[in-house]
Structure 1
Amino acid sequence: MSAHSPKSPGWLDWYQNPSEPAFRLPPGTIDTHCHVFGPQAEFPFAPERKYTPCDGGREQLFTLRDHLGISRNVVVQATCHGADNSAMVDAVEASGGRARGIATVRPDITSAELRRLDAAGVRGVRFNFLRRLVNTTPKDDLTTIAEKVAPLGWHVVLYFESADLPELEGYFGSLPTPLVVDHMGRPDVTEPVDGPQFAHFLRFVERNDVWVKVTCPERLSVTGPPALDGQRHAYADVVPFARRAVEEFPDLVLWGTDWPHPNLTDHMPDDGLLVDHVPQVAVTTEQQHKLLVGNPMRLYWPGEAV
C-alpha cells in the first residue's frame, strides 16, 4: 500500500468550521463515541479496510473537544485501521488522562498485549456486525476475545442493525462482559417509536442491563439535518427514539459525536448542531447530567472525581 492512498470515491470530509452550540454542555461532559483517522502518513490504514477516509487525527479531535466544551473523550477504534490500535492508543496517551479507548483485537492477542492496552487507557473492545464494514464476524473468535478481556473489567461494544437483533441477542446475552450498544442499535426511525422493532430493542436492554449510546442522529435520520422550527433543532425524526431510551434507562445512556463521521454519503453534520440535539432528547437537567457526565464517568473513570 502506498503511503498516501486516495480517499474512497465520494468520501465526505468532516465539517471544518463547526458552529458554536446554543446548548452549553455541563462541566465534565464526555464524548463516548469518536474516532481518529491516521494521519495516514504516520498511522497507515489497514490493507483489508472497506474504505479510505480523510485524515482526522488527535489534534483535530482535541480542537473539536475544546470548541464544543467537552472535557473527555472515548476514542473508538476505526474499522479503517483494522486491529492495529496504534492511532487510537496514541490519541488516548496524548490526552493527559482525558481519554479512554475502545480497541479492536484478534483472538490470538496475548495477555501481555492486553495489559499494555489496559495501561494505555483502553477499557473495551468493539464487535462489529455490519456486513458492509466487516467481512465476517465469527462468534467463536469473538467469544474467545470476550473471555480474555473480561478479567480486566473491560466491556464489549456492539454495533449491529436493529433488524438483526433477534438473530444475535442470544449470543450477546452469553458474553461474560458488560455490553454497550452503539447508536441505539440503529433503529428504523420510519417505524413507530412504539412499534415492535424498537420495543424489542428496549426489552433487550432491560433484560441485560445494556448501556446504550444515544448517538448518530445524522446517521439514523431520514428527514435530515434542517431545523424544522426556525431554531437549532435538527434530526427531528430521531428524537422520539433517543428520548424514549433516556426516559426508560436514565442510568444506562451515553452520548457522543461520532467525529469524524465515517461513511456518511448525503451530508456531513455540523458538530455544533449535534450538541444542540442533546436537550431535545434529554430534557431535564438531571437527565442531561447523567447522560453526559455521571454515566460515562461510572463506566470509564469509576471512582474518579469529575
Structure 2
Amino acid sequence: MVDTCTTPITGIDCHAHVFSRELELAAARRYTPDYDATLAQYLEHLRCYGLSHGVLVQPSFLGTDNRYLLAALRQAPERLRGVVVVEPQVSRAMLDDMARLGVVGVRLNLMGKAVPDFRETIWRGFLGHLAELGWHVELHAPVDHLPRLIRQLIPFGVQLVIDHFGRPDARLGVEQPGFAEVLKWGQGGQVWMKVSGIYRLAGTKRENLDFAHAALALLEQSFGPLRLVWGSDWPHTQHESDVGFDTVMQQLQALECPPQLMRALMVETPRTLFKF
C-alpha cells in the first residue's frame, strides 16, 4: 500500500539499501548477497529506533538497474527518498520520471575504479541535467581521490555528498592528506558529509570510533552542522556478521553529539538536502 500520509519527522536515516538475492546482479561486482534486505525489514528497523524517514541508495552490485529501489519508493513516498546509479548517457526523460518518484541524487561509486574525465561532453550534459533538477552527486571513493573529484565537480554547480566520512583509513588519523584536504571544502556551501559507515574505516573497532569522534569535531568546525548527515548503511554489506542496526545506533551515541548537533544530523540537514 502506498503511504499517502504526511509522517512527522523524528529522524532521517540518510543511507540504506534494499535488495533481493533473486535480482539479476551486475556482471562486474565486488560482492554477492546471499540474503534479502526488504523494504518491510528496513521500515521495521526505523520504527524500532524511533526514526521516521529514510534514504535508499542503489547498491553497487545491482549496477544501473534501479527498478527494485524505485518500487520501494512507490510504497512509501512520504517517508523515502532515493539515490540511483545511472550511466551518464541516461535520458532526461528518465531522470524526470525518477524525480517524480522521489529520487534526489545519483551515486558515483568509484571504489576500485578510475576517476572519470568530467570534461567529456557526455558528462557535461549529464551533470548539467542534475544541476537543473537540484539533485546531488553522492561520491563513494577513496579519500585520496576526493580532492580531485570535488575540484572537477564544483564548477558544474551540483551539490556533492561524500559517503562514509570520505572512506579514510582510521589508522592514519585525521591528519592524513586526503581527509585534511576534504575539510577545506566545508565552507563552500556545496559539499555535505555523511557521518556513516564507521565500521568501514579500516581500523579496529576502537580505532574507527576514535577516528570518527575526532573527525566529527573537525567536520563540525569546517562544514558546520548544516552540512552533516547521518546514515545507518543498513544492511551493512560485507559486515553483516558483526554489525547490525543496533551497532550503528550505539556508535552514533558514542559520538556524544550535543542535542543541537544531533538534531541537525538527524532532522534539519537531511530534511532540506533530501527534499522531505
Calculate the TM-score normalised by the size of structure 2. Answer: 0.86
Select which of 21, 31, 36 maps to 2:13: 31
Q: Counterpart in 1 of 2:26?
A: 46
Q: Say which is worse superposed, 240-249 or 287-296, in terms of deviation.
A: 240-249
**Distance change (3 Å), C-alpha of 1:250 and 1:203:** same
Q: Say which is worse superposed, 293-302 or 189-198, in terms of deviation.
A: 189-198
Shift of 1:217: 0.5
**2:146 corresponds to 1:157:** no
Counterparts of 1:243 and 1:278 in 2: how far apart (Å)?
Answer: 13
For residue 250 of structure 2, what is the amino acid of its counterpart?
A: D
**Distance change (3 Å), C-alpha of 1:167 and 1:126:** same
Counterparts of 2:117 and 2:236 in 1: how far apart (Å)?
Answer: 26
List per-residue Cα deviations over 1:102-129 (Å, max 9, x = no partner).
0111122222211110111000101122
**2:205 corresponds to 1:224:** yes
**Distance change (3 Å), C-alpha of 1:188 and 1:49:** closer
Counterparts of 1:217 and 1:150 in 2: how far apart (Å)?
Answer: 30
Q: Counterpart in 1 of 2:219?
A: 245
Q: Counterpart in 2 of 1:256?
A: 231
Larger proportion of helix: 2
Counterparts of 1:182 and 1:143 in 2: how far apart (Å)?
Answer: 23
CA contact (8 A) 2:77 2:102 kept: no
**Distance change (3 Å), C-alpha of 1:167 and 1:112:** closer
Counterparts of 1:288 and 1:165 in 2: how far apart (Å)?
Answer: 26
SS of the residue 1:157 aligns to = strand
Higher relative contact order (CA 8 A, sep 6+): 1
SS of the residue 1:162 aligns to = coil
SS of the residue 2:173 aligns to = coil
List per-residue Cα deviations over 1:44-85 (Å, max 9, x = no partner).
223333321132121221121112221100001111111111
Counterparts of 1:281 and 1:243 in 2: how far apart (Å)?
Answer: 9
**2:173 corresponds to 1:199:** no
For residue 51 of structure 2, what is the amino acid of its counterpart?
A: I
Aligned residue runs from structure 1 range 22-101, under 5 A: 28-37=10-19, 39-41=20-22, 43-54=23-34, 55-101=36-82
Structure 1: gaps spanning 5 or more residues: 1-25, 227-233
Structure 2: gaps spanning 5 or more residues: 1-7
Q: Say which is worse superposed, 53-62 or 117-126, in terms of deviation.
A: 53-62
Calculate the TM-score normalised by the size of structure 1. Answer: 0.78
C-alpha RMSD of the superposition: 2.5
Number of residue pairs the alignment of both structures matches: 265
For residue 61 of structure 1, what is the amino acid of its counterpart?
A: Y
Counterparts of 2:238 and 2:126 in 1: how far apart (Å)?
Answer: 27
SS of the residue 2:210 aligns to = coil
Q: Counterpart in 1 of 2:170?
A: 189
Shift of 1:289: 0.3
Shift of 1:225: 6.5
Counterparts of 2:65 and 2:49 in 1: how far apart (Å)?
Answer: 29
